[in-house]
Amino acid sequence: MGRSIFRHPASYLRLMAKYRGSLADSKANHVKMGVALHWNKVCGDCFDMPHVTSHQLYNSTYHQVWEARHDQIEKQFDIPMIRRVFQTADVLGISHYAPAPSTGLSAGVFAMPIDTTAYELAHWGVDLKGLITKGGKDFLFSEVGLGGGDPGDERPATSLAELATNPLNGIWAVYNVAQDPWRNHNFKAYRRQWFKSLMAFLYGGGGPRYKVDAAFIWSVGTFDVAAIHPISTSREGTYADWEVVKWMRWLSSKVPT
């Protein structure tokens, strides 16, 4: 998601200036401009990162790769211009598909991906925490969800561990019983605990280290806990969980209008 930002920062700055200018004298002059990234590999996988499963190992590996390629990176990217994009935007977002533990879920799990994003951006000279806590930027999860699929995105996950560590794996199919991971009692219970932890994290505003203003649930196929997309429901049933929907409505009711 970040590849175009890091490769073409000047274009983003021109677009933000263009739309701010065109909206300045209209009823939409309050519209905010923003950019969004994946929670890791923020530059859009612009250099190879070995596959690692530990968050601490990932961060240390990122640092090692960065140090080894620092001179090359500085030649390939306009880093001062990239910083200006983040400083100029009103809204910053990340897509949140980070691995989670299969047991012992808590609200704190949802802060980890922000830590990783902030750690990576710091290498580029971008202080994410400062921008969202002191710089007046809105910060959100531009996407967040739990797919329940296997690595091929065609069948339900084969285990709870596979489901928890690969939330981005999901099935984009019209609802059918055969491909519904949530018919598995353990998977359904885990999804409820996962969303309950997310709701607690959001209700607390993402604190204490960060400020999270909003989250947008990815809503298609097996990700679609609220049956938003037409394919998520059929005569055979639905991927939705109405108990989770009830929690989401309650949380949304707490947001100032």
97: tokens are: 């598909």
pLDDT tens digits, 118-151? 999 999 999 999 999 888 899 999 999 999 999 9
pLDDT tens digits, 220-230? 999 999 999 99
**Residue 31 CA from chain centroid, whole number:** 22
The candidate with the shortest Cα–Cα distance to 173, out of 235, 236, 237, 232, is: 232
Burial of 76 (0-12, 13-18, 19+ CB in 10 A): middle
* C-alpha–C-alpha distance, residues 213 and 199, integer Å: 12
Q: Average of pLDDT values for 169-175?
A: 97
pLDDT over 70 (residue 175):
yes
Alpha helices in 100-253 (DSSP H): 112-123, 128-133, 160-165, 185-203, 242-253
Q: Average of pLDDT values for 248-254?
A: 94
pLDDT over 80 (residue 164):
yes
pLDDT over 90 (residue 257):
no
Neighbours of 108 (CB within 10 A): 12
Bond from prior residue into 208 cis (ω within 30 degrees of 0): yes
* C-alpha–C-alpha distance, residues 105 and 100, integer Å: 8
The candidate with the shortest Cα–Cα distance to 147, out of 177, 178, 117, 179, is: 179
pLDDT over 80 (residue 158):
yes
* C-alpha–C-alpha distance, residues 239 and 256, integer Å: 29
107: tokens are: 């609200």
* C-alpha–C-alpha distance, residues 9 and 222, integer Å: 35
Mean pLDDT of all residues belonging to the chain: 94
pLDDT over 90 (residue 47):
no
pLDDT recorded at residue 220: 96
pLDDT over 90 (residue 53):
no
pLDDT tens digits, 56-103? 888 889 999 999 999 999 999 999 999 999 999 999 999 999 999 999
pLDDT recorded at residue 207: 76
Q: What are phi and psi of 32, to 5 degrees?
A: -100, 150
pLDDT recorded at residue 48: 81
Q: For residue 144, what are the β-bridge partners?
A: 96, 217
pLDDT recorded at residue 210: 87
pLDDT tens digits, 179-204? 999 999 999 999 999 999 999 999 99
